Amino acid sequence: QLQASGGGLVQAGASLRLSCAASGLPFARYCMGWFRQAPGKERDFVAGISWSGKYTYYAESVKGRFTISRDNAANTVALLMNSLQPDDTAVYYCASCRRPLAYYDSETYSRTTTYDYWGQGTLVTVSS
């Protein structure tokens, strides 16, 4: 089970930190990802992190503003979002990869089919 939290309403330029708590799976063995879905749009990749935390991947639209991290001892993955813009408004989902101890390229991280378990989503709204 994945439980995402930390969303809210902020003004443009502000920061938010999302967190995703995992339970019921050997968290440290699985890569993780964050996706987002704006109203009327498809679910898009935001960021991914390898099971060890050594490798991170980002969508071009968030590169340099967002940072993904994980704490395998606490079974959590976080997404720090800086310089938020109205286009970042969406429901944000965390997800765990299907295969344990897998090494993927950036393109594979961006696919929703790479993941099997999804959190319930947390809403981020950025006002202009």
Residue 91 and residue 122 in contact, taking contact as beta carbons nearer than 8 Å: yes
Which residue, 28, 24, 2, is CA-closest to 94?
2
Q: What is the largest CA-CA distance in the chain?
A: 41
pLDDT at 113 over 90: yes
Residue 51 and residue 28 in contact, taking contact as beta carbons nearer than 8 Å: yes
Q: What is the pLDDT of residues 38-95, one digit of tens each?
A: 999 999 999 999 999 999 999 999 999 999 999 999 999 999 999 999 999 999 999 9
Q: Rounded to whole angstroms, how far apart are CA atoms 29 and 13?
A: 35
Q: Which long-range contacts (CB under 8 A, 24 or more apart) does 66-69 make?
A: 68/32, 68/34
pLDDT band, residue 112 (cuts 50/70/90): very high
pLDDT band, residue 25 (cuts 50/70/90): confident
Distance, CA of 104 to chain centre: 16
pLDDT band, residue 97 (cuts 50/70/90): very high
